Structure 1
Amino acid sequence: MFTIDQIRQAHSKVQSGADFPSYIKEIKNLGVTHYEVYVADGRADYHGNDNTASWPSKYAALSVANTPDREHFLSILKAHQQGQSDYPTFCRQCAETGVYKWIVSLTDMTCTYYDQAGNQLLTEHIPG
């Protein structure tokens, strides 16, 4: 069983999107099967086969745009994955482009981004 402290320790090593694959590997080794991150306040729910751990709000509430701008989101995601932004900046930009949440499946090694209506904006494979 994993704890939120173990998740925080793994997350503390992430400086940019370029660090994401190693973060995923580390929390997968802890037993996380999937997790959801809510852009509006950064809270996250981590799930495993035998437990769940929740990370409370990480920052002041952001207003998530009602209408998603998928093309602009794709450009900020690419920049983030190349290490051009930190996590707080990426979250703010996600809110501005209408990303409500993302779900990371460590079983399928995918990350799926959703708008407020629950529509999938993008599913991508996580390098592993």
Structure 2
Amino acid sequence: MFTLEEIQSAHQKIKSGSDFPQYIQDLKTIGVKIYETFVRDGHTEYFGKDGNRISSLPKYDPIEIAENCQYTKFREILRFHQEGKSDYFTFCKEVAEAGIAKWMVDVDKLNCIYFDSNNTLIYEEEIPE
């Protein structure tokens, strides 16, 4: 059973998108199976085996999610962030403007799926090990 403190400790190591793969490995080590991050306020819900579930507090004041997803703009924002060229809040603000409402990470399958506000799958990618 993992704790919010363990998750926060792993998260503090992230300085940019390029640190994301190691973060996923750290979550896997403590028992997180899946998590969903909600762009509107930055809160995340973490799920583990045996029904273990923890939700974080919002990370920032609510931001508006664009109604229409701009796929090309989103992909540019994502690439820029993964190259370590933006911080977390900037990334969240920019993907909200591009119409992304949340992302879900499957720690075991090493994939990340992005959704719009209608819960439509917009983009799925593998997470490098």
Rounded Cα–Cα distance in structure 2 between residues aligned with 1:11 and 1:84: 18
Provide, for residues 79-103 of structure 1, a one-character-per-residue CA deviation record: whole Å limited to 9, x for no partner.
0000000001000011100000000
Count of equivalent residues: 128
- 1:53 equivalent in alignment to 2:54: yes
Report 1:1-128 matches (<5 A): 1-50=1-50, 51-128=52-129
Rounded Cα–Cα distance in structure 1 between residues aligned with 2:5 and 2:99: 30
Structure 1 residue identity aligned to 2:124: T
List runs of 5+ in structure 2 lacking aligned partners.
none
List runs of 5+ in structure 1 lacking aligned partners.
none
Post-superposition shift, 1:76?
0.6
Provide, for residues 32-57 of structure 1, a one-character-per-residue CA deviation record: whole Å limited to 9, x for no partner.
00000000000100000031111110
Post-superposition shift, 1:108?
1.2
Rounded Cα–Cα distance in structure 2 between residues aligned with 1:7 and 1:121: 26
Structure 1 vs Structure 2: percent identity of aligned residues? 42
- RMSD value, Cα: 0.6
Q: Secondary structure at the match of 2:18?
A: helix
Structure 1 residue identity aligned to 2:48: G
Rounded Cα–Cα distance in structure 2 between residues aligned with 1:116 and 1:86: 23
Using the size of structure 2 for normalisation, the TM-score is 0.98
Q: Secondary structure at the match of 1:116?
A: coil
Q: Secondary structure at the match of 1:8?
A: helix
Rounded Cα–Cα distance in structure 2 between residues aligned with 1:14 and 1:26: 11
Rounded Cα–Cα distance in structure 2 between residues aligned with 1:107 and 1:22: 13
Structure 1 residue identity aligned to 2:104: I
Rounded Cα–Cα distance in structure 2 between residues aligned with 1:48 and 1:72: 33
Using the size of structure 1 for normalisation, the TM-score is 0.98
